[in-house]
Structure 1
Amino acid sequence: MELTFDASDEMSGVEDVYYSLNGADFVGEKQSPFSVDKEGNYSLKFYSVDNVGNVEGLHSFDFSVDHTAPLTTHEISGINKNKVLAPDAAICLSAVDSLSGVANVFFAIDDGAFERYKNPIPVSRLKEGDGKITYYAEDRVGNAESHKYIGTLSSGANQADGEGEVFDYYIDRDPPVVSFKFEGDYYEGDHEYISERTRVTLSAEDDKSGVQSILYSYNSFLTKEMYDSSFYPEGNSPVVLSYSAVDWVENAAAETDRHFYIDRMAPESKVSFEGPVFRNRDTLFLAGDTRISLNAIDKESGLKSISYSLNDVEAEYEESFSGDFAGENLLEWRSTDHVNNQEDIQSLVFVVDKEGPSIHHHFSVEPIGEKTVRDEKYVIYPSNTKIYIGSTDDVAGEESLKYSVNGGKMSETIPLSGLQPGNYSIDIEAADALENKTTKTIRFSIEK
C-alpha cells in the first residue's frame, strides 16, 4: 500500500515532507516514498518544510493494513442433543475480524439467494435430510471470506471452492412412540379387565434424539409419575391410566388414556339339583336319576369355567350330571373368572339311593289249605283273616305304602280285613323319600 502526501506553500514552495512510521527516524518522502505492504496497525507522524526552512507543525495519523477476511463460526441455539435439533432450535452465525472489523454476514439456504444475517436461522427453514446453509462474512475494507457450508454428507457440503463443514444434523419434529402392554392375567370383553397379579409395562421408541423419559398417572389430569420399570396398577376399578413420553429435544407424545378394570374378586358358585332330594339331619340323599347343576356368577370379568371332581375323577363342567354310584359320593369344585381369579375349593358329600323300600306282609292266621287255579297255586285263608303290609328302607327311609285289591282303587288302610270268600290278587307299591319305588303282588284265596 502506498500513501502520498499533499503539501503546498504559496511563497517559497515546499522543500519536502518528512514522516516517521511506528516511531522510526523521520525520512523525507522524496528520499523514500511512503509504502506499507505488511498487515498490521500503524502510527504515522509527518510534517512539511518550505524552501526557506519554515517547519510545519507535527501531524499524526493511525491506520491499519487489513488483508485478511473475517472468520465466521456457527453454533446451535435451543434444545439439541448429539446434533439432533428441536423444531424450534436455530443456527447462530458469528464472525470476527481483528483489524477493520466485520461489516456484514451473509447466508443462503440451499440454492437460494444470499440474505444478510440479522437473527438466528430457524431450523424449520431447513430440509429434513439434505438441507444446506452457505455463509460468509465481509470486513469493512471489503475482504470477503470464502464460502462456508453447513450440511449433511448428502447435501454436498464439502464444496471445492470453499471450506465445507459437515454437520450431521437432524431436525427431530416427531415425539416418541409409546407402547402399553399388560403382563399377566388379561381379558377383553365389554371392558378390559386385569387381575391384581397383572403388571403394566410401558416402553417408548424415538429414532432420532432418543427417549428422555416416560410419564404416567392414575385417574389424574397431570401425568407426572416417572416410569422406570413395570408395575402393578393401583386403585379400585375403574382405572384410567394416562401415559406419555418426552424425547431429548422436548418433543412430547400426546397423552393417551387406557381405561380398564382391576378384578380382584373370585366368582361365587352354588350347587343345585334337578330331581328328588332328601336331607336328613346332616346327610344329603339323592335319587339315582337326580342331576347335579353347578352355577357361578362373577360381576366383573365374568365366569370363565367351573372345574369339578366327583370321587377323584376330574372334569370341566359343561352340563348337569348325576351321582356316580350308590352310596356316599364326594363332589369338589371351584369356579374361575376370565382373569384367573379362583374361588376356594367347595365340597359336598351326598348319598345316592337307587333302591326302593323292601315290602313285607303277613297274615293274622295260619292258612287252612291250598288250591290250584289255572296252574297257579293259591293258599287258602279263613274269612276272618287280616293282612298286615309294611315296608322298610335302609337309606332314605320309607315314604309311602299303597295297595290295590284285584285291580281296584289304591288304598293305604292297614290292616286289610273283611275279605269275602274268593280269589285275591293284591298289588303293593312302596316308595322312599327319593321316590324310588318297589312293587309286589301277593295272591291267595278266602273261604269260609
Structure 2
Amino acid sequence: MNFCITKKNIAFVALFSLYFSTTLFSQEQLKHTPKMYKSSDGKLYMNKSQPMYLWISTSPGNESEKIRLESEKHKKYSNPFYFDTEGYNSIRTPWCVDTTTKQVIYPLEDIIFEVYADSRPPVSKITYDKSKVYYRDKKAYVAGEVVIKISANDELSGVERTLISINKEPFKDFTGEINLKEEKEYFIQYYSVDNVGNIEEIKTQTVVIDLSKPKTYIDVKKDKYENIVSGKTHIEILAEESGSGIEKIFYSIDNEPEKIYSKPIPTSLLSEGEHTIKFRGIDRVGNQEDNNTYEFYVDKTPPLIVEEIIGNKFISNNIEYSSGRSKYKINAMDNKAGIKEIYYSINNGEKKLYTEPFYLEEGKGKITIRAFAIDNVNNESTSGQTSQANSKMYVDLAGPSLIHKFDGPFFSNRDTVFISDKTKITLQGTDKESGMDYIEYSINNETMNRYTEPFSIEDNGLTNIHFIGYDKVGNSNNSNFSFYVDSIAPEIFVRYSVNPIGNKTILDKKMEVYPNHVIVFLSATDDKSGLMNIKYKINNSAQKIYSEPISNLSPGRDYKIEVLATDKLGNMSNKEIEFSVN
C-alpha cells in the first residue's frame, strides 16, 4: 500500500489503542492485544487486522501539536485505513527535498516510509530429547525421564512469547525446557504469540512416560491339561495391552537360539516329551522384559483300549454266543494326560458316552463295536477293529422263532380253528444263532410239560395251548394258540315227498310202501365244524354224492338206500333206509 503526501518536513506517528486482560482461565489462552512493534533493526511492524490513523506535526517532540490527516478524496477509506498487503507496505510522498535548501533533489525520487503488516501467527513445534518416541492414538510414548522443548517461528515480526499448560493448569510462559519424570500421562497444550499480537491456535500433545517393562504370557487355546499339551495344538505368546505396546517378542525353545515371535508355535513340530520355552518382550520405547519360562509336556500318544465281554456264553463250532444279558466292558489307559472320556458305537451308529459296562441289547447277530478313548488333551484312539463280537462272538438277543402245526384234519372258520381228536399237534422252534434248546407247553393253563413229540386232544371243546421255547443262551420266546376239538359226526335226516300208502312184510321185516311218484330227500347237520358232503348208494349200486332229491324210482320194486354223511374234520355217520314202490 502506498500513500502520497505533498507537504514538506512532515513527521508522522501512527497511534492505536491497546487492550489487555490479565484475567487467567485454566486451559484458556491469555488475552493478547494487537499492537505495533519496532525491531532492533528499525523496522516498523503493524498488526494487519488493526485500523490505522495518520497524524502530522511540525516538531518531533512528543508535546508538539499534532493534527490527524484526513483525505479529501478518499474520506470513506482513510480514517481509519487498513494495510492490504502482508509484509512490506509503504507510505510515500513525491519528491525528495533537500532539508537545507528546501529544493527538490534530482533525479526525482519519492520519499518512502516503510511499514510491515503482519497478520500471520507464529508456528510452534514440540520436540523431545529422546531418540525413540512412539506415537499411537495421538499420544507420544517415551521411556523414562524426558526433556520437552518447544520451538516457534514467525516470518515477520518475530516471536514474542510461547506459553504452555500441563494437565489443564493455567498457561504460563515457556522458558526453555520442561522435565517430565513421573510415569504417567501428561496432557500438554501450547501456543505462541508474535510481536504484533497475532496468536497461534492452541496445539495439544499427550505425552506418556512409560517406565514399565512389557508383560508377555503363554496362551494355549485348546488341547491343554495342566502343563500337558497335545501334538495338534498351537502355543501363542501374547502381550498385555499397556503403555506403548509391544514391539517384538523373542523366544527360544529348549535353549536354541532366540527367534522373533511372529505366529503361533505348532506343537506338531516338537517331539513328544518335556520342553521349555523362554520368552521376553520389548515395547515400542525400548523397555525390555526379563526372560519368562514355560515348561510343558507334548503328549502325542492316544490312550490304549482294552475290551471284554462279561456274562453268559455258549460256544459251538468255535463261535462264542452271548445273550442280551451279557455286558460289554471297555477299559482305557493313557501314558500321560489321563483319560477324559470313552465313547462307543454299535454297528456304526450314534456315538454314546461310556460310563459302565452295558448290555448288548442294541445289536443282534454279528456286531461291530467301536470304542473311542479320549485323553485330557484330546488325543483319541479308536478300537478301529471289529470287536470279539464279530470274529469270535455272536450276540444272540432274540429267543427262538416258534410255530405250531396240525397233522391231521383241521380247518379254519373265521378266527376259529377246528381239529379232530385224531389231529396231532406239533410244536416247533428254530434259532439260527445259538440254536434251539427245548420247548415247554401247557394245556388250558395247567402244569407245564416238556415237549417231546406231537400229541392230540381227546376232549371235545375249546382248548388253549401256551408254549415257551428256549435257545442255548437262555433267550426265550412264547406263543399261544387256541382251537376247537370236534369228534362228533353229523346227524342224518331222510324225508319223503308223500306219505306211505301202505305196509308190507318181507322175511319178518316190515316195509313201508310209497306210490311211484315218491321223491326222497336226504340231509344232515353238524353242530360245530359243519357238513362237508352226503354220499349214498341204492341197492348196492355205486356210491354217489348227494346233490339233488332222489326220484324216478321204478314201481313194483323194493329199495335199500345207504347214506354216509361226513363233516369237515372227517367225522362220519351212516344210515340205511328200506321201502317199496308200488
TM-score of the superposition, structure 2-length normalised? Answer: 0.39
Q: Whose Rg is larger?
A: 2
